[in-house]
Structure 1
Amino acid sequence: MRQRIVRLTLVGGVVFLALLLLLATCGGGSSGSGDTGGGDGKGGGSSAGATTPAASASAAAKPVPGASGTRTVLNVPPQYTTDSGWEVVGASPDIAFSWPTGTLAYLERSADHRYRVRTLDTATGKLGWRSEARQTLDPESYPRLLTVSREDRQFFVTWSYGTAGDGLAPSETFISLDVYAATNGDRHHVELPWNGAPAVSASGPDIVISDAHANVALIDPVTGETSKIAASELKYPKGCADCRKLTEVAGQTSRGLLVSGAREFWVPGGWYSRNVAPKGADPATGVPTSVAAGLVLAKWQPEKSSKLAATHELWTVHDAASGKALVSVACHRPAIQPGRFPQAVVPPSGDYLIAGNLAFDLVAKKGYCLEDEDGSSHVTLASVTDDGLAYGARNVRDADEALAGGGVPVVMNFVDGSDEPLARNVRLPVAETTGVGIFRTTDRDDRQHLIGYPRAG
């Protein structure tokens, strides 16, 4: 499927009618190939991100009434304008960002069920580099896509898991990864034999593959070199009996792997959670739940003598390099523990962190728990911007449901932690970068649309 970037432009009725008359007089100037992505797949083409309304009208999606030939106009929060922007039709479920360069990466599928990595400049919508078509180990689905940073360089990583089907026994499964430099698409290909469903993360300088326990493989994104670490090689904190129970690798920090046990967590050869417990917490109860952008989000049980011990948990953001507790907030303990904890989300500036109904201002050292006084209802946050606005919804199970249009959408301000309802049909931004909000929607043909709308004003 060929992808097109469409520049969204609102045109007055008189100008639009004049344009139609001109096209009719000139024989219809929108019958070109429409391949705005650039034929060589390397430079992106000079016309990318600047397709005219006439050309976009020939695309697969029908124009939206009143949008003068644009494909899709969403109802968005008032902080954004739909007067201009860009759109991608047929993008993959996973997208990834290189914050320093303002680059977004997504996957496009070819006719033979292979895929390409495609990039664009989020500020302009202009297409960047496009990779060669690659085969995934599961032809029925896209590979996964994520971003990893090392030595001030960013890389986009695709990975899939399965069997090759050629020369391998069915029991011989492996992970196939392609690592692309975010700036120009230079690629490393890595294949690694692996038994059991892998967990792949990129919270630290390496790509970390684990078996959901304590056996891991590390891939250097710069060189593609792989190293394996067995569970028996991990160093455990002295005197921590629970560290050897349910041991698993939770992520990676700049100091090394982040490891957790049934309770308590540590960086082997680095810091130990019992020594960095936040004020008011039982130091032997820490559990890391998410790692992002040099930060660790962990939950703790309050001290047994505390009035909150029976009803609340203490949530704390820690510096991943030192383990230092940065900011904490207490929240009601859920009646039923979630199957998986919310993933921490950090904007490009790194000034804020959100996860589920938790919000942290890392500059002002404030934490917020967005729930009713009795803990019966709460807001689930899904995205956060550099200027201290977080978007989410009430009455949803998770952030994905909020981004898909479920529940009652809200916007939360970090000044005082208050949230205000938005219109019920508002779509929430997946992220914001370079002053542009990134939105998702799905059309009647079940194609994913990525749309960039700039900040209003």
Structure 2
Amino acid sequence: MRQRIVRLALAGGVVVLALLLLPATCGGGDGGSRGEDDGRPERPRKSSAGPATRLTVPREYTTGRGWEVVAAGPDYAVSHTTGRLAYLVRTPGGRYRLRTLDTETGRAGWSGEARRTPDPERLPKLLTVAKDDRQFFVTWSFGRTGDGPTPAKGFVSLDVYDVVDGEHRRVEVPWTGVPAVTATGPGVLITDGGATSTVVDPVDGGVSVIPASAVRYPRDCPACEQLTEVRGQTAKGLLLSGSREFWVRGGWFSRRSAPAGADPRSGIPTSVVPGLVLARWRPAAGTRQAAAHEIWTVHDAVSGKPVVSVRCHRPAIEPGTYPQAVVSPSARYLVAGNLAFDLTGGKGFCFEDEGGAARLTFASVTDGGSAYGATNARDADEALQGGTGPVSMSFPAGEVEVLSPNTRLPEMETAGTGVFRWTDRKDRLHLIGYPRTG
């Protein structure tokens, strides 16, 4: 049964909701498996046949058509421009293979060769990066070399595949310590959690090392030199932050890009996605709501200019990590935790209860303006697992709707198909594509 959450008020840019918490239950089911990959190409899948697993999903999707991949790796990546999805499967000898499919039809696309990973017990991580009107799927792993008395040397191994035809390039980058690898700009960024970074060009495999000593700080910004961290890459260069304030090397400075009503020296970036930066700001001292609220702003990553802002109550206890931003395929909508932004319409929403507590966590958003999440979920991953009070939100209506307790939420949508993840009783991961009905 569906219940609607009543929208009570919009005051100071904050949408206040009475959130209804639902009991937690999980759906079941089982499906077939190819098991370990045998190296043979997959047969084309017909979307009219429908996947074997029928989950309970939002009514915008049909389970009577679609596709299903069984025993896939935990990561997948999507090219929205081509509608192609890439996923990993294990192969004999401790190797792995990257496979692709068309998300609209379910038909198999190109498949990479079986390759080794530095850690045969773990599959690589997978991401998408774009440069010069080309897109690439990238797998990456961290490993060490050296035996006996020889000190182990760390390295990051990357396999770069052209999204269109699977053209492959391998790049290995020497690295000390556990790396963080992201793709928010036109390259693959490797960082150490501080100010040291390396950028790999996906087109030619070029490696650019940027040591911490090469960081240039904005003038008159002592906070920039404290807790300096590389946050991501933009089309104009690396985005860095200090204990407060943030900037792009050789580009813009947050102090000159503060949203209206904010203390220009208080900005902290919390999440970076291609083309956009989500930042938290303190209201200017002496202004209304300065003591109890924060300003959340989406910035253009190229210019630094504010795109849209919203005010939320400041949490009683600062979280250890902030929610990651998620954007719709066309980048019109962005959600993060209990925040939601219509970037084209210039509207921001903060969903919290009357006491200012955030009881809603968004996990995905579509180009049609539908966002999906859950109440009483610690983060987006927990919201997607089901059973924590699933909800949907309509940007055009500005309303939140409670879904039945066992509803599975789409992790993303591309080419009119929602992608769902589910693990069966044999601990096999299923990737399932259900088409949107409207």
Normalised TM-score (structure 2): 0.89
Q: Is the 8 A contact 2:423 2:430 kept in 1?
A: yes
The within-5 A match list for 1:376-391 is 376-391=357-372
Deviations 1:294-352 (A, max 9, x none): 01100001111123222111100000000000100011112222222111111111101
Q: Is residue 272 from structure 1 mapped to residue 253 from structure 2 by the alignment?
A: yes
210, 213, 219: which one aligns with 1:232: 213
Deviation at 1:100, TM superposition (A): 0.3
Structure 2: segments with no counterpart, 5+ residues: 1-32
Deviation at 1:112, TM superposition (A): 2.2
CA root-mean-square deviation: 2.1
The within-5 A match list for 1:255-294 is 255-294=236-275
Partner residue in 1 for 2:390: 409
Alpha-carbon distance in structure 2 between the residues aligned to 1:202 and 1:102: 19
The within-5 A match list for 1:216-231 is 216-231=197-212
Deviations 1:132-188 (A, max 9, x none): 111112222211100101011111111111214679945311111111111111111
Q: 1:144 to 1:36 in 2, by over 3 A?
A: closer
Letter in 2 for 1:339: G
Alpha-carbon distance in structure 2 between the residues aligned to 1:368 and 1:35: 44
Alpha-carbon distance in structure 1 between the residues aligned to 2:356 and 2:241: 28
Q: Which structure dedicates a bigger proportion of its chain to helix?
A: 1
Alpha-carbon distance in structure 2 between the residues aligned to 1:154 and 1:340: 30
Q: Is residue 172 from structure 1 mapped to residue 153 from structure 2 by the alignment?
A: yes
Q: 1:181 to 1:344 in 2, by over 3 A?
A: same
Give the secondary structure class of the aligned counterpart of 1:370.
strand
Letter in 2 for 1:231: A
Return the structure number with greater relative CO, CA threshold 8 A, min gap 6: 2
Partner residue in 2 for 1:64: none
Give the secondary structure class of the aligned counterpart of 2:361.
strand
Mean CA deviation greater in 131-140 or 389-398: 131-140
Q: Is the 8 A contact 1:37 1:127 kept in 2?
A: no
Q: 1:233 to 1:405 in 2, by over 3 A?
A: same
The within-5 A match list for 1:49-448 is 49-50=45-46, 71-164=52-145, 169-448=150-429
Give the secondary structure class of the aligned counterpart of 1:163.
strand
Alpha-carbon distance in structure 2 between the residues aligned to 1:52 and 1:227: 47
Q: Is the 8 A contact 1:150 1:221 kept in 2?
A: yes
Give the secondary structure class of the aligned counterpart of 2:255.
helix
Alpha-carbon distance in structure 1 between the residues aligned to 2:420 and 2:101: 15
Structure 1: segments with no counterpart, 5+ residues: 1-33, 54-66
Partner residue in 2 for 1:57: none
Deviations 1:345-401 (A, max 9, x none): 111111011111110000110000111121224210000000100000000000000
Structure whose CA Rg is larger: 1
Q: 1:165 to 1:302 in 2, by over 3 A?
A: same
Deviation at 1:293, TM superposition (A): 2.4
Q: Is the 8 A contact 2:194 2:229 kept in 1?
A: yes
Q: Is the 8 A contact 1:36 1:48 kept in 2?
A: no
Q: 1:334 to 1:144 in 2, by over 3 A?
A: same
Q: 1:292 to 1:51 in 2, by over 3 A?
A: closer
Q: 1:397 to 1:197 in 2, by over 3 A?
A: same
Deviation at 1:111, TM superposition (A): 2.8
Deviation at 1:193, TM superposition (A): 1.3
Q: Which structure dedicates a bigger proportion of its chain to strand?
A: 2
Letter in 1 for 2:45: G
Deviations 1:72-131 (A, max 9, x none): 110000000111110000111111111100011110011322111111000000011111
Deviation at 1:230, TM superposition (A): 1.0
Deviation at 1:271, TM superposition (A): 0.4
Alpha-carbon distance in structure 2 between the residues aligned to 1:404 and 1:398: 10
Q: Is the 8 A contact 2:421 2:432 kept in 1?
A: yes
Deviations 1:236-265 (A, max 9, x none): 111001000000100011110001011000
Alpha-carbon distance in structure 1 between the residues aligned to 2:149 and 2:86: 32
Alpha-carbon distance in structure 2 between the residues aligned to 1:416 and 1:423: 20
Give the secondary structure class of the aligned counterpart of 1:400.
helix
Identity of aligned residues (%): 58
Q: Is the 8 A contact 1:38 1:48 kept in 2?
A: no
Deviations 1:42-76 (A, max 9, x none): xx56x4113997xxxxxxxxxxxxx9xx5311000
Alpha-carbon distance in structure 1 between the residues aligned to 2:344 and 2:383: 27
Alpha-carbon distance in structure 1 between the residues aligned to 2:135 and 2:360: 32
The within-5 A match list for 1:5-84 is 44=41, 47-50=43-46, 71-84=52-65
Q: Is the 8 A contact 1:37 1:48 kept in 2?
A: no
Alpha-carbon distance in structure 1 between the residues aligned to 2:414 and 2:72: 18
Deviations 1:183-220 (A, max 9, x none): 11111111111111111110000111011001110100
Alpha-carbon distance in structure 2 between the residues aligned to 1:345 and 1:118: 24
Alpha-carbon distance in structure 2 between the residues aligned to 1:257 and 1:168: 38
Q: 1:335 to 1:180 in 2, by over 3 A?
A: same
Letter in 2 for 1:424: P
How many residue pairs end up in the alignment? 406
Partner residue in 1 for 2:8: none
Q: Is the 8 A contact 2:270 2:322 kept in 1?
A: yes
Alpha-carbon distance in structure 1 between the residues aligned to 2:223 and 2:248: 15
